[in-house]
Amino acid sequence: MIRSTRRALLGAGAVLAAPGVLRAQSTYPSRPVTVIVPNPPGGGTDFAARLYQEGLQAALGQPVVIENRPGANGNIAINAVARAAPDGHTLLLQYNGYHAGNPAMMQGLTWDPIRDLSIVGMATMAPHVILAAPNVPANNLQEFIAHARANPGKLNYASSGNGSIQHIGGVLFARAIGAEMVHVPYRGASPALQDVAGGRVEMFITTPSSAVALIQSGRVKALALASARRAAGLPEVPTTAEAGLPGFTLDAWFAFAAPAATPRPVQDRLNATLRALAETPGIRQRAEQGGASTAAMTLEELDILARREVAELGAVIRSAGITIE
């Protein structure tokens, strides 16, 4: 999301399930649960899914299988879950760039974020870090801005696909600094990072979880974190405000989703399990090491967040004129 709504949404308390609901929950799951990830391994979406895999298996008492199905800007995976049997055995690790962005950018979608999907648990919330290739003659954000302004239209920025939040972030960044840049879309964050580290693309704005190892090894330059505060996993990276570009913030969320028709007792079971896991020290610490954070949110809070995101991010996309054929 462009501005984090976390504080406004975390105030509501959990709702205790009635005995009848608990009995219905106890019949689920009856077989392995598949979590479909709409991106290749190695990116922030995949990181969020695998962060919870072991804990979900232990809590649900069934194997949890992670299945990566990239392509079509997330729509292959999203369609598979939207059309799956609504019994909680097929879940989606949804990314807000797809959930709120695709409906605003694409004509003829066969799924609707509100009608066809229910967000049942928040996995991670993450800012974005502005990365530069090692061969770019800039070691901080102000130097990069000066370099981009001196070379309008000559610098490239990567994204994990047309219409992704990385794409939107690149558009907004170019507008904010007043320098034209060329968009280069990839099929996920991992291949984009490879080309940034290799010096073939000058800039990439992405979630830290997919880039921490490259940053720490010095293979890419972390110029600033597009957030209101620094990330625990990257304490040395300044915020955009500290680096001289106040007001430029960009946040993402990654959440578990089920087909909308999934029975409420099953959604309650998943939500309670994911909320408990989000508060465990091990998962919190691993998320922070990856530059993200966890949030224990109720079904009601998640619904508010998703609806708000669809409206707000959609408005930004439409105003920027971003479309995907």
Indicate if 137 and 195 belong to the same structural domain.
Answer: yes
- Enclosing domain of residue 168: 129-225
Looking at residue 7, its pLDDT comes to: 38
Task: Enumerate the β-bridge partners of residue 90.
Answer: 34
CA–CA distance, 284 with 292 (Å, rounded to integer): 9
Indicate if 266 and 177 belong to the same structural domain.
Answer: no
> What's the whole-number mean pLDDT along residues 233-252?
93
CA dist 207 → 86, 151, 241 (Å): 31, 26, 18
Q: Which of 73, 76, 80, 77 is nearest to 106 (CA)?
A: 73
> What's the whole-number mean pLDDT along residues 105-130?
95
At how many degrees (to 10) do helices 96-105 and 299-320 cross?
40
- Over 50: is that where the pLDDT of 5 sits? no
Indicate if 99 and 18 belong to the same structural domain.
Answer: yes
CA–CA distance, 275 with 258 (Å, rounded to integer): 16
With the C-alpha atoms ordered 6, 12, 13, 14, is the resulting torsion angle positive or negative? negative
192 located within any domain: yes
Query: What is the domain-level CATH number for residue 24?
Result: 3.40.190.150
Indicate if 190 and 117 belong to the same structural domain.
Answer: no
Average pLDDT, the chain: 90
Indicate if 273 and 302 belong to the same structural domain.
Answer: yes
- Among the ranges given (102-111, 232-241, 309-318), the one the predictor scored with the smallest mean pLDDT: 309-318
- Residue 42, by phi and psi: left (phi above 0), alpha (psi -120 to 50) or beta? left
195 within 8 A of 241, measured Cβ to Cβ: no
By residue count, the chain amounts to 325
> What's the whole-number mean pLDDT along residues 43-63?
95
Query: What is the domain-level CATH number for residue 191?
Result: 3.40.190.10
278 located within any domain: yes
CA–CA distance, 216 with 213 (Å, rounded to integer): 5
DSSP one-letter string for 168-210: HHHHHHHHHHT---EEEE-SSHHHHHHHHHTTSSSEEEE-GGG
Indicate if 106 and 141 belong to the same structural domain.
Answer: no
Q: Model confidence over 307-319: pLDDT tens digits?
A: 999 998 888 888 8
- Buried/exposed 163-200: b ≥16 CB within 10 Å, e otherwise: bbbbbbbbbbbbeebebebeebbbebbbebbbbbbeee
Peptide bond into 29 cis (omega under 30): yes
Q: Which of 160, 147, 171, 164 is nearest to 195 (CA)?
A: 160
CA–CA distance, 198 with 202 (Å, rounded to integer): 10
pTM exceeding 0.85: no
The residue with greater pLDDT, 272 or 230, is: 272
241 located within any domain: no
Looking at residue 163, its pLDDT comes to: 75
